[in-house]
Amino acid sequence: MDGLLALYIFMLAAFTGYEIIAKVPVILHTPLMSGSNFVHGVVVVGAMLMLGNADTVLQQAIGFFAVALGAANAAGGYVVTERMLAMFKKKEG
């Protein structure tokens, strides 16, 4: 990818992340940390691409490891976040 273009993406993404979190009330900090933890589970996509292009057994082994870890990050992050958020109720909820 064009290096400069990536730099623009870096910059805009950083601002987006900052702006989204700056407004979050303290009561949501734990689910939010766990939710953002889930979002970086998208690393599994990168791991799949690497495994998909792995040539040697060693590369396949590391790739397998990477995909399994990434999948665990995504699945685990989703489950715990959803469980926590399902508990937040208003009065008479």
Partner 1 sequence: MTLPVYVQGAWFAGALLFIFGLKGMSSPASARKGIVIAGYGMLIAIAGTFLVPGLKNIALMVAALALGGAAAWISGKKVKMTDMPQMVAIYNGMGGGAAAAIAAIEFAKGDAHSTVTTILAVLGALIGAVSFTGSCVAWAKLQGVLKRAIRLPAQNAVNVLLAANAVGLGIAMVLMAPAQPELIVFFFAVSLILGLIVTLPIGGADMPVVISLFNAFTGLAVGFEGYVLGNPALIIAGIVVGAAGTLLTQLMAKAMNRPLSNILFTPMVASGPGEAISGSMKEVGAIDAAAMMRYASKVIIVPGYGMAVAHAQHKVWEMTSILEEAGVEVKFAIHPVAGRMPGHMNVLLAEAGVPYDKIFDLEEINGEFGQADVALIIGANDVVNPSARTDKASPIYGMPILNADQAQNVIVIKRGKGTGYSGVENALFYTDNCRMLYGDAQPMAGEIIQHLKAMG
Least Å distance between CB 4 and partner 1?
A: 10
CA quadruple 18, 19, 21, 27: dihedral, nearest 10: 150
Q: Degrees (nearest 5) of the Cα angle 14, 22, 40?
A: 45
Backbone angles phi, psi at 23, to 5 degrees: -95, 0
Strand, coil or helix: what is 74?
A: helix
Least Å distance between CB 61 and partner 1?
A: 10
Place of tokens 């508990």: 87
Least Å distance between CB 74 and partner 1?
A: 6
